[in-house]
């Protein structure tokens, strides 16, 4: 028997109105890693939601190197589920890589990113499609209510809003977006959290809706622990640096190098004045001369880094231009 359907809307809430152009022109993209216990309920609820709202989109499940039979269970469910693709990574690569694999396999204009752990209701899918129908390029979900790791998630999202000028309050939740965005933006490992930030920086329009987060029904969380927090914050800083200085790296490296060289000149002039004036510092002149050499050397090295980074940025721009033309 199918598991009971988790619905985040009350009985009095009107059903979402999905535009006719979107009813079959979307794919539910599901990255999955060791979720065999949730697969039957996942497909049952997707079929139920599709039938209830008259949807006929694709279902793309990407098994990211599972070892518990997730791939086989998904293949079994796909037999009774129209327009279903089950893809597989030979080893666990990560959620970002699973998203990219699914995006390139999709034959639709829009994608709905949905986790296999069923912590969101499949009834949210029509709400996302309805919002996309208003003309948005990306619609993100903002988790509401009480849930595990709420404090960590809130702090992480507040820090993201401080660093990035993005009009959403939750970067790591259910999303719906144009397929072309995920194909266009190159994502490094674990950069799925910053997909919205990178897309918004390229001019795509972003909106959000409130969604409810449910407890995990089976299995264990794959992304938890203090290490994940440290990795996330580290990636946050890297993405900020990437967006701020990737186009003009000389502003950071070259500017810092010039400041160090200027400081070296000032220290050198100070040393000359002290020597000519006969004011011997208590530690002598050798430390000052060593500091001058250090500052000048570091300044030249940083300026050289900036010059090389500018050449790389120019090459990157040319490659992206070729990709767009292709």
Of 66-70, 114-118, 167-171, 229-233, the least confident: 229-233
Mark 252-268 as b/e (b = at least 16 C-beta within 10 Å): bbbebbeebbebbeebb
Share of the chain above pLDDT 70, in %: 85
> How are the residues of the chain apportioned to helix, strand and coil, as percentages rounded to the nearest 5?
50, 15, 35
- Write out pLDDT tens, residues 252-303: 778 888 899 999 899 888 888 887 877 777 777 788 888 889 999 998 888 8
pLDDT band at 85 (very low <50, low <70, confident <90, very high): very high
Structure tokens at 264: 């070296």
Rg (CA), the chain: 26
The domain locations on the chain are: 20-245, 249-325
Domain 20-245: which CATH number of 3.30.360.10, 3.40.50.720, 2.60.120.380, 3.90.550.10 = 3.90.550.10
Summarised one tens digit per residue, pLDDT across range 142-154 is 888 665 566 566 6
């Amino acid at each position: 028997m199918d598991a009971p359907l988790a619905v985040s809307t009350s009985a009095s809430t009107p059903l979402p109105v999905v535009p006719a152009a979107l009813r079959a022109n979307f794919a539910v993209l599901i990255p999955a890693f060791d979720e065999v216990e949730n697969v039957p309920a996942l497909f049952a609820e997707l079929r139920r939601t599709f039938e209830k709202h008259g949807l006929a989109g694709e279902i793309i499940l990407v098994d990211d190197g599972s070892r518990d039979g997730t791939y086989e269970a998904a293949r079994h469910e796909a037999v009774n589920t129209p327009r279903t693709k089950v893809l597989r990574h030979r080893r666990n690569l990560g959620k970002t890589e699973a998203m990219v694999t699914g995006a390139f396999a999709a034959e639709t204009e829009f994608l709905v990113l949905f986790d296999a752990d069923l912590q969101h209701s499949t009834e949210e899918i029509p709400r996302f499609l309805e919002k996309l129908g208003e003309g948005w390029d990306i619609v993100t979900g903002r988790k509401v209510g009480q849930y595990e790791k709420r404090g960590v998630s809130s702090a992480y999202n507040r820090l993201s809003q401080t660093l990035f000028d993005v009009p959403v309050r939750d970067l790591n939740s259910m999303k719906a977006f144009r397929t072309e965005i995920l194909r266009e933006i190159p994502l490094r490992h674990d950069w799925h959290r910053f997909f919205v930030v990178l897309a918004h920086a390229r001019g795509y329009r972003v909106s959000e809706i409130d969604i409810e987060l449910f407890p995990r029904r089976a299995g264990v969380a794959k992304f938890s622990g203090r290490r994940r927090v440290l990795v996330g914050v580290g990636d946050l800083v890297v993405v900020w640096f990437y967006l701020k200085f990737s186009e003009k790296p000389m502003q950071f490296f070259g500017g810092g190098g010039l400041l160090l060289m200027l400081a070296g000149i000032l220290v050198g002039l100070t040393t000359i004045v002290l020597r000519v004036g006969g004011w011997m510092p208590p530690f002598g002149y050798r430390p000052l001369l060593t500091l001058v050499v250090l500052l000048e050397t570091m300044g030249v090295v940083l300026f050289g880094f900036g010059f090389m980074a500018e050449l790389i940025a120019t090459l990157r721009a040319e490659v992206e231009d070729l990709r767009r033309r292709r």
